[in-house]
Amino acid sequence: MLLRSSPRVALFSAPSEVWLRDVVAGGRSSLPMAGALRMPRSGRPASGAVAAIETEYPFFDGVFFEPFEEVKQELSLVPSSPDKSLARQKYGDESEAAINEQINVEYNVSYVYHAMFAYFDRDNVALRGIAKFFKESSEEERNHAEKLMKYQNKRGGRVKLQSIVMPLTDFDHAEKGDALYAMELALSLERLTNEKLLNLHSVADRCHDPEMASFVESEFLGEQVETIKKISEYVSQLRRVGKGHGVWHFDQMLLHEGMLDYLTSF
């Protein structure tokens, strides 16, 4: 906030607003303030601070600020209770609840993928590549949940974990086979997760929270689209090979996928 000073100490006592850089261009560069600062003529007596500046810099006619006037309102909003977040600002209850709901979505999807990993890792199923894929997918969804939890804490919200639905334990399907059925289920889960993320983004827009909207966009939406594309291709490939020997080749592709990427990177 600009404190008012007398006409005598208005900036350079000019008849109108004066650019500070004009003085610098005139050869006086040792200024207490730098840049093209421009201030209006004012009408309050000079303070001791202004007088001190005038003594050292006779050409400087006294402009100073009182910034704390503008933070008084914010200071009054800082909670004094120890159970209240100090970091929370413009973070509504609807946004907080939506983040907690998305945490629950990510954990539920992770739980289903973990059950799929356990199924395909059985000795009488023995599709280790598909098991590896679902184990990595489960860990990824869990990481998403933890990322949302950290964001909730950063914004000053409270993480409230909810119950997780018990997943299936068997994924065999008489017509489609277990690999195709599980991959179609995974695609459905990813599409549902994407819908939930879009709803989360809508909450951010509705609550006028651009930071939360940016977080959802940068950390989740793009990655979600890529995942849907990848699993869609897996479903298409499994539909082509059927339930026979082709499933084993598909499984081997997933098992060595990371190794092939590593070898072809040289």
Binding residues for Fe cation: 106, 141, 144, 190, 224
Tokens of 140: 């990824």
Confirm if 138 and 117 have CB atoms less than 8 A apart. Answer: yes
Tokens of 29: 């560069």
Query: Hey, CA dihedral for 29, 35, 40, 44, is it positive or negative?
Result: negative
Binding residues: 106, 141, 144, 190, 224
